[in-house]
Amino acid sequence: MTLLHLENLTKRFGGLIAVNDVSFDVAEGTIVGLIGPNGAGKTTVFNLITGNYRADSGKIVFDGRLINNLPTHKIVSLGIARTFQTIRLFHKLTALENVLAGCHCRMKSGSVAAMFQPPWQRAEEKKALDKAMGELRFVNLETQAMNLAENLSYGNQRLLEVARALATEPRLIILDEPAGGMNDQETAQLIDTIRQIQARGVTVLLIEHDMSLVMKACEKIVVLENGAKIAEGTPPEIKANRRVIEAYLGTDEE
């Protein structure tokens, strides 16, 4: 079953066409990789899906619902969570609070409830706290709960972003270069984590430059070049695709 469906998506920045008529599907429960050379428009695609940018034309359908013009927070509450290429944590807040941010959209209490703290509000807070600790445990960061995000190691910061995204209870998680800046051992663990995420029933869409990770983890790969899709298929298919090889290695004519 298709969870996310992109159809003829186009985004221009001034004269530059960052994303050009891109279409692909992400099936529920799969791990899909989005690859391509620098500047191919991968992150722009992500930003279009999550509502950070507005598409100039084309359709984004999530679970049968058109989400093109929804604001980011609505998209998150529908079940799409993301991490960022350049880590965007709340640096001056604790790791726990970073994850609690993710719990936010599944909670109800507002300002008045906060001031008077009725029992249901306290129960909700406690539940959120448990959940946040659970997600920290999931990425093996429970011991870091009370440390400020800015004091975490680079790899842990990436994991913390994953935990924050998972706390939103997403059906689709979008990871933007999750292995960026990680060493081999951390990357291996990350692949494990991504599989575990899949095992929880969450669909994964990721951008990654680390080809070994992509080939190992993904069931389907979409390749972008200069904003346009040039290939789509399973890892072995992509490995054998001439255009992909040209895009990555360059052609002799150039």
Of 224, 237, 152, 156, give the one whose Cα is nearest residue 190.
156
Using the minimum distance from each CB to other proteins, give the nearer residue, 178 or 231. 178
Q: Which is nearer to other proteins, 63 or 124 (CB)?
A: 124
Note the residues at the interface with other proteins (CB under 8 A). 13, 43, 47, 50, 52-53, 71-74, 76-77, 81-82, 84, 88-94, 96-97, 100-102, 104-105, 107, 109-111, 113-117, 121, 124-125, 128-130, 133, 142, 145-146, 148, 164-165, 168
Least CB distance to other proteins at residue 248 (A): 25
Q: Give the shortest CB-72-to-other proteins separation in angstroms.
A: 4
Q: How many CA atoms lie within 13 A of 150 on its CB side?
A: 4
Least distance between other proteins and beta carbon 111 (Å): 5
Q: How far apart are CA 76 and CA 50, in angstroms?
A: 8
Q: Cβ 193 to other proteins, closest distance in Å? A: 19
Residues 6+ apart with CB under 8 A from 130: none
Nearer to other proteins, 165 or 182 (CB): 165
Residue 21: is it exposed, middle or buried by C-beta count within 10 angstroms (0-12/13-18/19+)? middle
Backbone dihedral region of 103: left (phi > 0), alpha (psi from -120 to 50 degrees) or beta?
A: alpha
Of 127 and 243, the one with the shorter C-beta distance to other proteins is: 127
Q: Which is nearer to other proteins, 24 or 84 (CB)?
A: 84
Give the shortest CB-237-to-other proteins separation in angstroms.
Answer: 31
Only one residue has tokens 């390749």, namely 223
Residue closer to other proteins (CB basis): 101 or 215: 101
State the nearest-atom distance from the C-beta of 90 to other proteins, in Å: 4
